[in-house]
Amino acid sequence: MSSDATPSAPPGLELTERVLGAHGILELYSGVCDDECGFLLTIVRDRLDETHADPFIRVADEILARRERIRIAHDWFAMTSYASLVRRAWTKWASARLKGLPDVHFLVRQKLIAMGIATAGMGISLVGGPRMVTHWSRESFNRTAFERLQSR
């Protein structure tokens, strides 16, 4: 995982679902941090579109059904754009599960995407939501987002 342009999941995460959208791909990887905490990684290539909203919510809810908390990391370095419907749906989902979300990490390279994250973060922070951390380098993202992930 040395190149910023080449997304891949670290050891300890398994591919849970791959969703082909009209203009992009969403991959969902899941794993375990500890007995009380699950882990979910999204990797998006090209556009995050409407077909990607529900699979994320379903997989995240499945993890939360087995664990008290979930750590989420979004590798969006290869993402070129997103549908605002997805941002709104995921923000609404997160706002309803504040206790179970200690933090959320994002790897980005597009300023517009970072602005969307900041917008969502402001809304979530008003209701006591998770710490949302935006990373501009894969090294920083890997070091902090995956620090509590357990290898199987």
pLDDT digits (tens, 9 = 90+) for 84-122: 999 899 989 998 998 899 989 999 999 999 998 998 888
Q: What is the pLDDT of residues 35-57, one digit of tens each?
A: 999 999 999 999 999 999 999 99
Distance CA 46, CA 134 (A): 18
Domains, the chain, ordered by start: 14-145 (3.30.750.24)
pLDDT at 151 over 80: no
Task: Write down the pTM of the prediction.
Answer: 0.92
Question: Which of 113, 114, 118, 108 has the alpha carbon at shortest distance from 138?
Answer: 108
